[in-house]
Amino acid sequence: MSIALNLDHASATRPQVKSRKPLVGLSKPDLAQALVDIGISEKESRMRASQLWNWLYVNGATEFERMTNIGKGVRQVLADNFRIDRPEIVSEQVSTDGTRKWLFRFRDPASPNMPPVDVETVYIPEEDRGTLCVSSQVGCTLTCSFCHTGTQKLVRNLTAGEILGQMLMARERLGDFPGGQRPADGGLVPSGDNRAITNVVMMGMGEPLYNYDNVKQALLIASSGEGMSLSKRRITLSTSGVVPYIEPTGREIDVMLAISLHAVRDELRDMLVPINKKWPIKELLDACRNYPGLSNARRITFEYVMLKDINDSDADARELVRLLAGIPAKINLIPFNPWPGTNYDCSSSERIEKFADIVNRAGYASPVRTPRGRDIYAACGQLKSETERLSKKDRDALAAL
Ligand code: SAH
Ligand code: SF4
């Protein structure tokens, strides 16, 4: 059973003022510059930028009015020039297992006349952690054959502010900001931590490394001690294998890396994860070996979706172990989550166990990921919004980025 709420978020009725620049997602220097641009002195701007970051990311403010350490006059100037609103909530569903899925609606601040886009964000509470699964794009340009998101064309990249907006809105709904209310409808929060969201995974809709700059900017703010203060060890970026951006991810963002491997032979991986035709397994694993900061304490997670009679034989398991030799790695076996129209089936639990056994005996921890939120269609690879495609012209413009 799941509960679906349709919420009328306040911002839906707020008048949209075209020229107000969104502040969420700006680095501190960029924020200070935005203040200079509206006539605030450089010195004051630096101080205000720090105050604003604190209000936005630590206190979760959505109104300048709340910012009581900023004078009333300046607050008014800020409100006239900038926006700090969050996405609208189109729906919020709660699974019987406590998993929550939101459909968030964003309007593109750069083109306010374009139709809004919808993205899905999922919260997964467990005993010792609470993980937020965040989207990086609306749809995906890639077409992995077992992934529901892959059947939806790319609509557009999300901005850094929109990526952070998912985290901020989830925090608000889970009562994670100071003075916030925990959800009344049975939302479990992990024990031993005073925050509902302890981990973030870039495993929602989209390929994060095809939206590198915005993802980087968002994750640097999420992990900053003056921003959302999430430890970089608790942020994981999952990629299907965009090789040229793997090294920069480690060097510039320095978060944990997950690779959607799913096959051990190029011939099969070309079919399952077509980006493999561009960057085949050997190149991908070479990039992994050179991932900055890689060590036994900071392993790469290799994701492997278990597809019946496709990639789940004993020989596949042994080849997986052979391929990963020498790379500090964890292997995450994901039972395939079916969706309407797919031709794949999930491997049987006996087969998954046997596969896991071979991998375990080779010395790898290989947890089998328990599907969460299946009743609300929130499990891995099931996310797909109904947002329509943009015009060909807009898609071409995006592809040229
Ligand atoms: N685009 C990125 C991140 C999003 S997908 C990537 O591909 O890595 C997060 C994980 O879910 C990936 O490992 C993806 O391959 C996997 N996945 C996709 N569809 C799935 C499905 N139907 N069942 C199980 N896992 C799936
Ligand atoms: Fe895109 Fe990842 Fe789905 Fe592949 S698995 S289509 S890269 S979201």
Kindly tell me if the per-residue pLDDT of 187 is higher than 60: no
- Specify the pLDDT at position 17: 44
Look over the chain and give the mean of its residue pLDDT values, rounded to a whole number: 88
Q: Are β-strands 21-22 and 82-83 bridged in parallel, bridged antiparallel, or unpaired?
A: parallel
Q: How far is CA 26 from the centre of its chain?
A: 18
Residue 120 Cβ < 6 Å to ligand 1 = no
User: Given ligand 2 and candidates 152, 240, 380, which is best to mutate, with the most ligand atoms within 8 Å of its CB?
Assistant: 240
Q: How far is the CA of 179 from the centre of ligand 1 (A)?
A: 35
Percent of the chain clearing pLDDT 90 (strictly above): 73
Q: Which atom of ligand 2 is least distant from the CA of 273?
A: 4
- Specify the pLDDT at position 381: 59
Kindly tell me if the per-residue pLDDT of 299 is higher than 90: yes
CA distance 370 to 120: 20
Q: Which atom of ligand 1 is least distant from the CA of 258?
A: 8
101-156 pLDDT per residue, tens = 999 999 876 676 778 899 999 999 988 899 999 999 998 999 999 998 878 887 88
pLDDT band, residue 401 (cuts 50/70/90): very low
pLDDT band, residue 380 (cuts 50/70/90): low
- Specify the pLDDT at position 379: 66
Output the six-digit token pair for 354: 């046997």
Kindly tell me if the per-residue pLDDT of 397 is higher than 60: no
> Are the C-beta atoms of residues 365 and 333 closer than 8 Å to each other?
no
- Specify the pLDDT at position 194: 79
349-361 pLDDT per residue, tens = 999 999 999 999 9
- Specify the pLDDT at position 16: 47
Nearest CA owner, ligand 1 atom 26: 381
DSSP H stretches of helix in 94-240: 160-173, 212-223
Q: How far is the CA of 323 from the centre of ligand 2 (A)?
A: 22
Residue 325's Cβ-count burial label (10 Å; 0-12, 13-18, 19+) is exposed
In the chain, the amino acid numbered 31 is L
Pocket of ligand 2 (CB under 6 A): 140, 142-144, 147, 149-150, 206-207, 240, 260
- Specify the pLDDT at position 96: 87
Residue 311's H or E segment, with its range, is: none
Kindly tell me if the per-residue pLDDT of 6 is higher than 60: no
19-39 pLDDT per residue, tens = 789 999 999 999 999 999 999
Kindly tell me if the per-residue pLDDT of 367 is higher than 60: yes
**Does residue 2 or residue 301 have the better pLDDT?**
301
Nearest CA owner, ligand 2 atom 6: 150
The phi, psi pair for 65, rounded to 5°, reads: -50, -35
In the chain, the amino acid numbered 303 is E
> Are the C-beta atoms of residues 140 and 149 closer than 8 Å to each other?
yes
Q: Which ligand is nearest to the CA of 147?
A: 1
Q: Which ligand is nearest to the CA of 336?
A: 1
Return the DSSP state at 370.
P
Q: How far is the CA of 296 from the centre of ligand 2 (A)?
A: 27
- Specify the pLDDT at position 311: 98
- Specify the pLDDT at position 174: 93
Length of the chain: 401
DSSP H stretches of helix in 224-304: 246-248, 266-272, 281-289
Nearest C-alpha neighbor of 90 from the set 4, 3, 19, 208: 4
CA distance 313 to 306: 10
∠ CA(249), CA(253), CA(256), 5° rounding? 75
- Specify the pLDDT at position 97: 87
Output the six-digit token pair for 304: 């492997």
CA distance 398 to 137: 12
- Quick one: average pLDDT of 150-168? 91
222-232 pLDDT per residue, tens = 999 999 999 99
- Specify the pLDDT at position 319: 98
> Are the C-beta atoms of residues 257 and 249 closer than 8 Å to each other?
yes
Q: What is the DSSP string of 295-316?
A: BTTBPEEEEEEEBTTTS-SHHH
Q: Is the pTM of this model over 0.85?
A: yes
- Quick one: average pLDDT of 371-388? 64
pLDDT band, residue 18 (cuts 50/70/90): low
- Specify the pLDDT at position 29: 97
CA-based torsion, 276, 279, 283, 286: positive or negative: negative
Percent of the chain clearing pLDDT 70 (strictly above): 86
> Are the C-beta atoms of residues 127 and 191 closer than 8 Å to each other?
yes
Active site residues: 120, 380
CA distance 350 to 303: 19
Output the six-digit token pair for 203: 């495993």
Q: How far is the CA of 147 from the centre of ligand 1 (A)?
A: 6
> Are the C-beta atoms of residues 271 and 343 closer than 8 Å to each other?
no
188-203 pLDDT per residue, tens = 666 666 789 999 999 9
- Specify the pLDDT at position 144: 95
Nearest CA owner, ligand 1 atom 21: 381
Q: Which atom of ligand 1 is least distant from the CA of 147?
A: 19
Q: Which ligand is nearest to the CA of 381?
A: 1
Residue 223, strand partner residues: none
332-352 pLDDT per residue, tens = 999 998 888 899 999 999 999
- Specify the pLDDT at position 162: 96
User: Given ligand 2 and candidates 201, 238, 260, 380, which is best to mutate, with the most ligand atoms within 8 Å of its CB?
Assistant: 260
